[in-house]
Amino acid sequence: MVRKIQKEHATKMGKELINPWDSEIDPDGKEPLVPFQDGKELLNTTKSIFKDIDPFFGDCLQTMDEMKHLDLDSKAGKAPGGYNYPLYEIGVPFIFMNAAGAQRDVATMIHEGGHAVHSFLSRDLDLTSFKNLPSEVAELASMSMELLSMEKWDAFYDNDDELNRAKKEQLVGILKVLPWIATIDAFQHWIYENPMHTREERKTYWATLQENYGNPFVDWSGYEESRTYAWHRQLHLFEVPFYYIEYGISQLGAIGVWKNALQDKEKAIADYKAALTLGYTKDIPTIYKTANLKFDFSSKTVQSLAQFVQKELKSVS
Ligand SMILES: [Zn+2]
């Protein structure tokens, strides 16, 4: 599916092979989407969307706003990045980000908002350890929120063309991240299973992974070095070994939550809230089960979830 998307991208640009820096641009040459002007507008629109999904979600952001627990706008000298920081004692988290008016910032705000809702729902648990969530659980909350909110994104966009572009970007991103997660996971397993490997062997292995999972419609001539060391950009390899597959697990879980919501929204939201309220008082499969998800990553399940995303993608293309 990703190959097909990558091929279409190149074809739209009138090329068989594209430049490495052209893989994420709009192939029709359209200007970037501008969903909001400043952090205030981003917050107010997100608040109304959250309220629409579930009044409690809107209340969470409202409380954070009143307590000045939101630092959203990008400014000179501000550290890059975005995160929700749980404050276990007070039970009201803090969101830090660098919003600059892009669709990516909308996704980040909603993502961090999902983490924030998780903090609120688990704040009354007895032990801090219960609120300290493993990423399979934490990212399920945030990634699901991104997808659950998507049907309300018209609050950010004036016309269907822009709205569909934003949704398409989101769904294509979901499909594209899975082979990248597979690449990083395979790479670090190989590294640790072959501790005596040479630099040359490592380069060769990375190249093999690029053949299997990379974009075959990119011409890397003149930039081979960049491709060889592309793994340098994944900080998890250096700082948190073997902590990356969790994103794949959560992403697949989030697709499941979204799929449930399209069938029975009320039940899906109730199940999602019930799962988040558990914090980390149960094992991960039980938490997934509470969210009405199968904790199953067989090719059959992955295929069916990916086909679902592909079908939704068609409806906005
Ligand atoms: Zn997250």
Distance 36 CA to ligand 1 centre (A): 22
Distance 198 CA to ligand 1 centre (A): 34
How far is it, in rounded angstroms, from Cα 254 to Cα 292?
11
Distance 97 CA to ligand 1 centre (A): 12
If you write DSSP's letter for every residue of 91-141 in order, what string do you get? ---EEEEEE-S-HHHHHHHHHHHHHHHHHHHTTT-SSHHHHS--HHHHHHH
Distance 41 CA to ligand 1 centre (A): 22
- The CA-based angle 251-145-185, given to 5 degrees, is 20
Mean pLDDT of the chain: 96
Distance 147 CA to ligand 1 centre (A): 13
pLDDT for 241: 86
Q: Hey, what are 173's tokens? A: 């991103």
- Over the stretch 56-75, which tens digit does the pLDDT of each residue have? 999 999 999 999 999 999 99
pLDDT for 240: 87
How far is it, in rounded angstroms, from Cα 52 to Cα 274?
19
Distance 128 CA to ligand 1 centre (A): 19
Contact 256, 294 (CB under 8 A): yes
Distance 317 CA to ligand 1 centre (A): 27
Distance 293 CA to ligand 1 centre (A): 19
Distance 28 CA to ligand 1 centre (A): 31
Contact 118, 276 (CB under 8 A): yes
Q: Structure pTM?
A: 0.94
pLDDT for 83: 94
- Over the stretch 185-201, which tens digit does the pLDDT of each residue have? 999 999 999 999 999 99
Distance 237 CA to ligand 1 centre (A): 18
Q: Sorting pLDDT into bands at 50, 70 and 90, what band is 219?
A: very high
Task: Indicate whether 317 pLDDT > 90.
Answer: no
Q: Sorting pLDDT into bands at 50, 70 and 90, what band is 81?
A: confident
* Helical packing angle, 103-121 and 39-53, nearest 10°: 50
Residues 6 or more apart whose Cβ sits within 8 Å of residue 123:
88, 91, 92, 131
Contact 5, 172 (CB under 8 A): yes
Distance 142 CA to ligand 1 centre (A): 6
Distance 195 CA to ligand 1 centre (A): 31
3-state helix, strand, coil in the chain (%, to 5): 65, 5, 30
pLDDT for 197: 97
pLDDT for 211: 93
Neighbours of 128 (CB within 10 A): 11
Distance 12 CA to ligand 1 centre (A): 32
pLDDT for 105: 96
pLDDT for 238: 92
Distance 111 CA to ligand 1 centre (A): 6
Distance 83 CA to ligand 1 centre (A): 7
Residues 6 or more apart whose Cβ sits within 8 Å of residue 85:
93, 94, 95, 96
- Over the stretch 240-296, which tens digit does the pLDDT of each residue have? 888 899 999 999 999 999 999 999 999 999 999 999 999 999 999 999 999 999 999
Helix (H) or strand (E) holding 198, with range, is: none
Task: Indicate whether 32 pLDDT > 90.
Answer: yes
Distance 139 CA to ligand 1 centre (A): 5
Distance 71 CA to ligand 1 centre (A): 17
Distance 229 CA to ligand 1 centre (A): 25
Distance 109 CA to ligand 1 centre (A): 10
Distance 149 CA to ligand 1 centre (A): 15
